[in-house]
Structure 1
Amino acid sequence: MAATLRLIFLLLLLWGTAAPELRAQTGAAQADIVLGRPAFPVNDYFTISFRLRGAKLERYSPFPDIEGFKKSSKSSTTTTRIVGGQTSTELTITQRYAAYAEGEFELKPFTMTVNGLTVQSAGAKLQVQAQQAAAPAPPGGATQGIGLLDKLFGKPKPQEYVEPHDNAFLALVPDKTSVFVGEGVHVGLYFYLTPEDQGLLSFYNFGGQLPEILQLLRQRTAWEEPFNEQEILPETVTAGGKTYLRYRLYEAEYYPLNTQPLQFPEVPLQMVKYRVAKKPEAGLDNRMEGFKTYRTVARTITVKPLPPHPLRDQVPVGDYRLREAIDRTAFRTGQAFTYSFMVEGEGNLAAVSAPVPVLPATVEVYGPDSELGLTRQAGRVGGSKRFRYRLIARRPGVLALDSIFSLIVFNPTTARYDTLQPEVRPTIKGAASSSVSFSARPDDPFYQDVLESADNTLQPLDTYTQVQRYANYILLVLGGLALVGWWRSGRAS
């Protein structure tokens, strides 16, 4: 009995020490599924997305198939928030579905696996309505192709085989041949084959070849923004008057950091290519597995310096525009308000720095907190970066925010510099104030609890010195009383 109790105690002790580590591992990353709106026109898309927080995307299972729909393009969005020095990142992968016809459809419950985490959806009832007057163009402009016949059959009997000619090729395709420093260039690695060649070719150990391919595509002098695509699905495209099935193997946006050219060497890809029987026989496979290596053509992208400018090395490059927001409509002296300076458009938003405020004597500026949202879709990388400031005006009048905030950018499309400046000019009311009074905000966890109970009464600078002096007097009196009591107790005995 004692031995059994000791065994149970030992198991409980081991469980208690191991359980917190297990919970930490499972709690480090969070994932969930988000469904699009259930009612939509036939010329619009239904979407299924999963969101991943607290970890980088490593792998995920395929999105489910929906009866009556075909899969279209995918997109990925990354949102990075920096609040109070704490950084959080959220990645969203979205799969679009196109309906074949109007009517009611059912999305059955399904399960996906993201980085080893299992996420479930209860499904939904989908209502496909009549077509809108103007149908939105499908992102990417590509239609869903048909799948590869990537199956291995039984071993052939000994017979003569010949290697037929194929029209497949591997291509590294940049969208530009020349860019400015900091300007993005999209580079995609694609494998093309005709529909007739599907029975001749198959992918071979692509996961094992991918690390070498990525090493060849790396650019030491460029910032690389890869697209989060993992499924290799065909797209039907037309090139040179021929119809091809195009497989997107890898794509990324490169932003040169200096004028050194981007040089992409030949990239090899080994494929399975079947040889066919010279004299086919009924009941046999009539083909034999072999291998063939395809190679891309080496590419060089020239990089041009930016035009002369005093801040040329610090200017963000991209097609940017300014969106601004303010959290209130009435302003008074001594009251804090929030102003958001948001840069949006296409470019390397991760490298955009916060505008440095020019502080007049009558305004105090705190912050900023930043939030970055990136979307990679149809070969483009864009999004927004928000800088959130806290301002306090001490004097009444019109507050010219354009004299405090500004950001110089370079537009590679027009090859010109531009300055993003606020247009909001709030009017501050109230008497001039030399002191600042804060108002607690529900979205500010730091000030919320403290400022509600804070005393704004002015205190003398020597307050703590006086408190210490009074404390010393009290200690001396207590010490004297203790000595008197000890002396009297000694005489009484």
Structure 2
Amino acid sequence: MQVELELSAASFPVTEYFTISFRLRGAALERYSAFPDIEGFKKSGKSSTTTTRIVEGQTTTELIITQRYAAYAEGEYVVKPFTMTINGVTARSAGATLQVGPAPAANTGPAPNGGLQGIGLLDKLFGKPKPQEYVEPKDNAFMALVPDKTSVYVGEGVHIGLYFYLTPADQGLLAFYDFGGQLPAILQQLRQRTAWEEPFNEQEIVPEPVTIGGKEFLRYRLYEAEYYPLNTEPLAFPAVALRMVKYRLAKNPAEGLDNRLEGYKTYLSTARTITVKPLPPHPLRDQVPVGSYQLREAISQTTFQTGQAFTYSFGVEGEGNLAAINAPEVAPRAGLEVYGPDVRQELTRQAGRVGGRKVFTYRFVARRPGQLPLDSLLALLYFDPATGRYDTLRAEVRPTVRGPVSAATTFRAPSDDQFYQNVLFDANNTLQPLDSYRDVRRYANYILAALLAVSVWGWWRKR
């Protein structure tokens, strides 16, 4: 089996085709890879030629598959080196530099030197391919930057979605072009230096059916994020551009040919501005988190002995910028030791919303009996944009501590705690001098020297 790649002449007028062919000898065609794409050219159908020769009773067959390429315009083009696989055999081509010239002047006279009449006969037999005329149909596609609010408070989240819309009828006309290469520049334009950004996880771009003004559209989600403004400066999102592939359709479609001509069209979104309102006056408004939150509490027990350690979790759950929530400070109280908190945050981005929970876990040791009023010790002030008012989350549980007054701490870690081991709290906490280990080493050396001297004396006595 033999496989060869062939390229037609590198210089030709714009009215003629450039071709790439492969020849297959000695085997039947089973499969072959796609012909390469050439920048500046449009694939314009294929042809196949089978030649059978019988010489001295031996039959040989040669198959030629030819791909035609039509140039968009005159100029110089480069065919990069490429490979094709035919029946599992790889054929390579070094490429070429093509010169596409102007269309030749009409010539009705006889061909010079008599010409080669065989080509003219084939054209009469099969019909010479004629350049197609293409028209660009109107599409109903558009790109839009869609915020879920037009005005927000400082610290309040606004969801921004960049979408591309098209009608089901436009699916055959449009295709994405190098979207991965265009996206970084688009995101750079959308970034806001005065806002905290929580981008949604990147997803595969798939169509979602939506209805706008009673008309059916397919929506492609290109990018979405939640922005939390840090000051009263408006969030200004400029118009961004997306280049798409748009096909022109043949005016007179021909059977067996690709009756589309690839082109490009750029779509622009509309610029958007989100106004940012200051929070109502409050002494701590620069430190107050903004969001719609609820309190979720958890405590290991509700009744304890003095000197016994217990854990309490102050959980903030809801929609907002959880990263802006700081741990509530525990008001000092005589006879109460406070450790921690440990912080755990779970952030969820779903259905155009960002929320989750942030849990602060404290460890307490009460030395005095009585009811422990956690509501007066732990509280979180926040601003709720839904109501436009400040509100406070306060602990509600009031554990009871029993037993005598404990002067010394007997802190015990809970059995499920992997960090505070019992050995840590049973260890001697008496301060030791910094050179204590050096002294121990010196005394150990003295003892070893004495033992060595005794062993030498005993060996001498035995001799």
Q: Same fold (TM over 0.5)?
A: yes
| Shift of residue 395, structure 1, vs aligned partner | 0.3
- Residue of structure 2 in register with 1:263 after alignment: 236
- Residue of structure 2 in register with 1:405 after alignment: 378
Q: Please give the alpha-carbon distance, in whole angstroms, between the structure 2 residues aligned to 1:290 and 1:388.
A: 60
Q: 1:177 aligns with which of 134, 141, 150?
A: 150
1:326 alignment partner AA: I
Q: Please give the alpha-carbon distance, in whole angstroms, between the structure 2 residues aligned to 1:477 and 1:284.
A: 101
Change beyond 3 A, Cα 1:467–1:176: closer
Change beyond 3 A, Cα 1:178–1:463: closer
Change beyond 3 A, Cα 1:293–1:438: same
SS at match of 1:367: strand
Q: Please give the alpha-carbon distance, in whole angstroms, between the structure 1 residues aligned to 2:335 and 2:161.
A: 52
Check the 8 A contact 2:338/2:365 in 1, yes or no: yes
2:295 equivalent to 1:333: no
Check the 8 A contact 2:345/2:358 in 1, yes or no: yes
Q: Please give the alpha-carbon distance, in whole angstroms, between the structure 1 residues aligned to 2:326 and 2:388.
A: 21
**Structure 1: gaps of 5 or more residues:** 1-151, 487-493
SS at match of 2:181: helix
Change beyond 3 A, Cα 1:478–1:216: closer
- Residue of structure 2 in register with 1:351 after alignment: 324
Q: 1:316 aligns with which of 282, 286, 289?
A: 289
2:326 alignment partner AA: S
Structure 1 range deviating more: 471-480 or 274-283: 471-480
| Shift of residue 342, structure 1, vs aligned partner | 0.5
SS at match of 1:210: helix
SS at match of 2:205: coil
Q: Please give the alpha-carbon distance, in whole angstroms, between the structure 1 residues aligned to 2:315 and 2:136.
A: 59
- Residue of structure 2 in register with 1:236 after alignment: 209
CA RMSD of aligned residues (A): 3.4
| Shift of residue 444, structure 1, vs aligned partner | 2.8
1:338 alignment partner AA: T
- Residue of structure 2 in register with 1:306 after alignment: 279
| Shift of residue 464, structure 1, vs aligned partner | 9.8
Output one character per residue of 1:442-491: Cα deviation in whole Å (capped at 9) or x when no partner: 33333315247x267x96x79999999999999999999999xx9xxxxx
Output one character per residue of 1:177-225: Cα deviation in whole Å (capped at 9) or x when no partner: 0000000000000000001111111111100101001101100010110
- Residue of structure 2 in register with 1:72 after alignment: none
- Residue of structure 2 in register with 1:426 after alignment: 399
Change beyond 3 A, Cα 1:426–1:373: same
- Residue of structure 1 in register with 2:363 after alignment: 390
Q: How does 1:6-25 map to 2 (within 5 A)?
A: none
Q: How does 1:205-224 map to 2 (within 5 A)?
A: 205-224=178-197
| Shift of residue 226, structure 1, vs aligned partner | 0.6
- Residue of structure 2 in register with 1:167 after alignment: 140
Q: Please give the alpha-carbon distance, in whole angstroms, between the structure 2 residues aligned to 1:283 and 1:378.
A: 45
- Residue of structure 1 in register with 2:4 after alignment: none
Check the 8 A contact 1:322/1:343 in 2, yes or no: yes
2:327 equivalent to 1:363: no
Q: How does 1:53-132 map to 2 (within 5 A)?
A: none
Q: Please give the alpha-carbon distance, in whole angstroms, between the structure 2 residues aligned to 1:234 and 1:477.
A: 84
Change beyond 3 A, Cα 1:468–1:196: closer
Change beyond 3 A, Cα 1:477–1:296: closer
- Residue of structure 2 in register with 1:376 after alignment: 349
Change beyond 3 A, Cα 1:471–1:257: closer
Output one character per residue of 1:128-176: Cα deviation in whole Å (capped at 9) or x when no partner: xxxxxxxxxxxxxxxxxxxxxxxx9956762111111110000000000
- Residue of structure 1 in register with 2:98 after alignment: none
SS at match of 2:407: coil
2:272 equivalent to 1:293: no
Change beyond 3 A, Cα 1:182–1:481: closer
Output one character per residue of 1:267-317: Cα deviation in whole Å (capped at 9) or x when no partner: 100000001112222222221000000000000000011001111111000
Q: Please give the alpha-carbon distance, in whole angstroms, between the structure 2 residues aligned to 1:167 and 1:476.
A: 96
Q: Please give the alpha-carbon distance, in whole angstroms, between the structure 1 residues aligned to 2:266 and 2:386.
A: 39
Check the 8 A contact 2:44/2:257 in 1, yes or no: no
Q: Please give the alpha-carbon distance, in whole angstroms, between the structure 1 residues aligned to 2:358 and 2:306.
A: 29
Output one character per residue of 1:25-45: Cα deviation in whole Å (capped at 9) or x when no partner: xxxxxxxxxxxxxxxxxxxxx
2:131 alignment partner AA: P
Change beyond 3 A, Cα 1:282–1:257: same
Check the 8 A contact 2:348/2:355 in 1, yes or no: yes
Change beyond 3 A, Cα 1:374–1:161: same
Q: 1:273 aligns with which of 236, 240, 246?
A: 246
Change beyond 3 A, Cα 1:421–1:279: same
SS at match of 1:445: coil
SS at match of 2:420: helix
State which structure, 1 or 2, has the greater radius of gyration over its C-alpha atoms.
Answer: 2
Q: 2:131 aligns with which of 151, 158, 180?
A: 158
| Shift of residue 330, structure 1, vs aligned partner | 2.8
Structure 1 range deviating more: 335-344 or 276-285: 276-285
How many equivalent residue pairs? 337
1:208 alignment partner AA: G
Q: Please give the alpha-carbon distance, in whole angstroms, between the structure 2 residues aligned to 1:471 and 1:163.
A: 92
1:275 alignment partner AA: R
Check the 8 A contact 2:412/2:422 in 1, yes or no: no
**Structure 2: gaps of 5 or more residues:** 1-42, 46-68, 71-129, 457-463
Q: Please give the alpha-carbon distance, in whole angstroms, between the structure 2 residues aligned to 1:281 and 1:328.
A: 82
Q: Structure 1 or 2: larger helix share?
A: 1
Runs of 4+ in 1 over 6 A off after TM superposition: 461-483
1:187 alignment partner AA: I
TM-score for the superposition, normalised by structure 2: 0.66
Check the 8 A contact 2:301/2:399 in 1, yes or no: no
Q: Please give the alpha-carbon distance, in whole angstroms, between the structure 2 residues aligned to 1:266 and 1:470.
A: 76
Change beyond 3 A, Cα 1:480–1:213: closer
Check the 8 A contact 1:272/1:290 in 2, yes or no: yes
Q: Please give the alpha-carbon distance, in whole angstroms, between the structure 1 residues aligned to 2:222 and 2:424.
A: 55
